[in-house]
Amino acid sequence: MPGRGLDYQVLRRSLLFVASFSSIFILLGISAKPLGAFLFVNKPAPERADGVVIIAIGVFLIGSVFVVRINRDWRPRWLAERAGGPFNHPTEMMPGPSGDLYVTDGYRNSRVHRFSKDGELIQSWGQPGKKEPGESHLPHSMAISPDGTLYVSDRANSRVQMFTPDGKFIGMWTGMGGPNDMARDKSGIFYLLEQATATSKPSVSVRDANGAVLTRWEMPHAHGMGIDSSGNIYVGRTKELRVDKYARVH
């Protein structure tokens, strides 16, 4: 592949993925078991106005390909191209009041799966997307109320979506940092662990049953959260490898 700039070649239906950048070829980690890790870069299609570059990165296992979409500024776009069955990378599992099990299959799938208590798949719902009800981009956690309503943290869309036990969309909360985790206490109060936004740092918000903020405070980034029966909050600090406790004082 001679020439300057970003050139590419794909030998479809083969095990070879080759890329060149300024006449430098890239071919990574071909081995026998697994069949190989690879990196493939191609230039944006001329008809694409958004200048998206497609990069395939992954381990070659029986022809499987993991695709990452990169913008012009080289930031990955992790939104799945299509919905799939269970599982890709599930992020949360929780029982509903009926005994059914619900699983958010967040990374690169954007779906919620519902199983019987015996582990049989009943249904799946959700499509990858950024705007419409029922679309999601990395459902990362959930809480379930006693009436069976699911509150699903649509993290990369910075919102919480609500569904009936059989997956019908019934509402959403917006105006938050991407919710990494959430919990509901026995009185119906919700606790959200929010990511940073363009104008605010990571935070914990406490909300009523309608999603209205009762209080919020900033804190260092954390990934997981739990609460106890006294209303104390525990957050998992992944970088520091520790758990912080916030004690309820009234």
Q: Would you state the pLDDT for residue 88? A: 87
Per-residue pLDDT band for 73 (boundaries 50, 70, 90) equals very low
- The count of other CB atoms within 10 Å of the CB of residue 203 is 19
Over residues 6-12, the mean pLDDT reads: 36
Per-residue pLDDT band for 79 (boundaries 50, 70, 90) equals low
- Strand-pair category, 17-21 with 24-26: antiparallel
Q: Which residues of the chain form CATH 2.120.10.30?
A: 89-246
Residue 138 makes CB contacts below 8 A (sequence gap 6+) with 78, 91, 106, 107, 110, 154, 155, 156, 157
- Say if CB 144 and CB 150 are below 8 A apart: yes
Calculate the CA dihedral of residues 105, 110, 114, 120 and round it to 10 degrees: -60
Q: Would you state the pLDDT for residue 58? A: 42
Per-residue pLDDT band for 83 (boundaries 50, 70, 90) equals confident
Residue 145 makes CB contacts below 8 A (sequence gap 6+) with 151, 184, 188
At residue 26, the 3 state secondary structure works out as strand
Over residues 238-247, the mean pLDDT reads: 93
Low-confidence winner among 94-98, 105-109, 154-158, 177-181 (lowest mean pLDDT): 105-109
Residues 111-145 have pLDDT tens digits of 999 999 999 999 999 999 999 999 999 999 999 99
Fold of 89-246: Neuraminidase (2.120.10)
- Strand-pair category, 127-128 with 135-136: parallel
Residues 177-217 have pLDDT tens digits of 999 999 999 999 999 999 999 989 999 999 999 999 999 99
At residue 72, does pLDDT exceed 70? no
pTM of the model: 0.70
Q: SS3 breakdown of the chain: % helix, strand, coil, rounded to 5? A: 0, 50, 50
b/e 226-238 (16+ beta carbons within 10 angstroms → b): ebeeebebebbee
